[in-house]
Amino acid sequence: MKGNLSVLGSLLAAACLVGSAGHATAQDFPNKPIRIVVANSAGSIADLAARTLGQEMSKTLGQPIIVEAKPGANQLIGLDFVHKQPADGHTLILTYITALAALPTMVKSLNFDPLKDFPPITTVFRIRVYLTTPRKQPWSNFEQFAAYAKANPGRLNFGSNNVPVRLIFESMFGQLGVNLVHVPFTGAGPLIQALATDQIQIVLTNEQYLNTFKEQIQPIAITGTLRDPKYPNLPTLTELGFPQMRDADYMLNIRSGTPQPIVDRLYNAAVQALRTPEVRAAYTKMQFEPVGNSTQDAAKAFADEAASYTAVARKLGLQPQ
């Protein structure tokens, strides 16, 4: 009996040590510089946003935050790198959540599950996206565009520079019962140039490009559920019946298995940073809308996005390659 009590005591002591070690890890976090990986090139939207956010977060966390650009392969290079790092909170990724959510519909043999392996900490910022067409076309609103496309099957082109955008366009065209030809692009710049010169007739783009080419292109709808005060007569795609065409959300994600106290500390630092005048001013200048929603709300939005793309791909009969 005495021997059994001794063994039990040793087990309890070991359990206490493990618990203390875990607690100490959370309490001591961060104990080295933190990396925010962006799976896009330096100077991209995600890169600029991450640098602005990281500078403020470092003041709260007491450690430098280094932004590392790891572009390529539909974000796979950056995501694979983060997936291989320890789940200790010192490596994060700021990513365009649509591209991450749509990966299982695009890539056949992923070595990770986006939803399970990269849970979000918070939505960092949001960009309103405009459904845009050339001004020289005979339509001036969404209804006229839809009628023209229906009357002229296969004569109009639409462009995209990533698979998720093509998916939601195909979904919208399916609902409308119209047939447009897809033209792929490798970047946003060439895509908008093609729109401005009427090589393609419809794209999704942001306000920056809209303002730059305002003499050549015009918006006919906007993503989101609320109308843009700058364009009060512009309908939202939600009110037109296409809720799958959402705003572009960028989230701060972390490796699954990271202790919850560490996730909470990172969340608090990110939200505090997003509330500072410095970050808000910088994001406004870049035409980003800072968000900073709860981890639970971000996770639900991420899951909804993934379910939406799975449904669209299934409906269109698309298989991951």
Residue 3 lies in a domain: no
Decide: residue 75, CB within 10 A, 0-12 exposed, 13-18 middle, 19+ buried.
Answer: buried
Residue 111 lies in a domain: yes
Number of domains in the chain: 2
The confidence score (pLDDT) of residue 19 equals 41
| 138 in the same domain as 103 | no
Nearest to 131 by CA among 181, 46, 200: 200
pTM comes to 0.83
| 280 in the same domain as 202 | no
| 113 in the same domain as 71 | yes
Amino acid at 190: P
| 254 in the same domain as 208 | no
| 122 in the same domain as 171 | no
Residue 153 lies in a domain: yes
Residue 182 lies in a domain: yes
Domain range for residue 50? 32-126+248-316
| 287 in the same domain as 274 | yes
The CATH number of whichever domain residue 209 belongs to comes to 3.40.190.10
The CATH number of whichever domain residue 42 belongs to comes to 3.40.190.150
What is the spatial distance between Cα 200 and Cα 316, in angstroms, rounded to a whole number?
22
Residue 60 lies in a domain: yes
**Contact status, residue 191 vs residue 213, Cβ threshold 8 Å:** no
Which residues is 183 bridged to in the sheet?
159
Residue 10 lies in a domain: no
Which residues is 134 bridged to in the sheet?
217
What is the spatial distance between Cα 20 and Cα 137, in angstroms, rounded to a whole number?
68
The confidence score (pLDDT) of residue 26 equals 67
| 252 in the same domain as 180 | no
Residues of the chain with pLDDT below 50 are: 1-24
**Contact status, residue 124 vs residue 53, Cβ threshold 8 Å:** yes
Residue 229 lies in a domain: no
Mean residue pLDDT across the chain = 89
Question: Which residues, at least 6 apart from 246, have a Cβ–Cβ distance to it below 8 Å?
Answer: 98, 223, 224, 305
| 138 in the same domain as 177 | yes
Indicate the pairing of strand 130-134 with strand 217-222.
antiparallel
The confidence score (pLDDT) of residue 25 equals 58
What is the spatial distance between Cα 168 and Cα 284, in angstroms, rounded to a whole number?
27
| 117 in the same domain as 150 | no
What is the spatial distance between Cα 145 and Cα 220, in angstroms, rounded to a whole number?
9
The confidence score (pLDDT) of residue 16 equals 41
Each residue of 124-142: pLDDT tens digit?
999 999 999 999 999 999 9
DSSP string, 274-293: HHSHHHHHHHHHTT-EE---
| 117 in the same domain as 37 | yes
What is the spatial distance between Cα 227 and Cα 35, in angstroms, rounded to a whole number?
36
Residue 16 lies in a domain: no
What is the spatial distance between Cα 95 and Cα 221, in angstroms, rounded to a whole number?
25
| 212 in the same domain as 150 | yes
| 208 in the same domain as 136 | yes
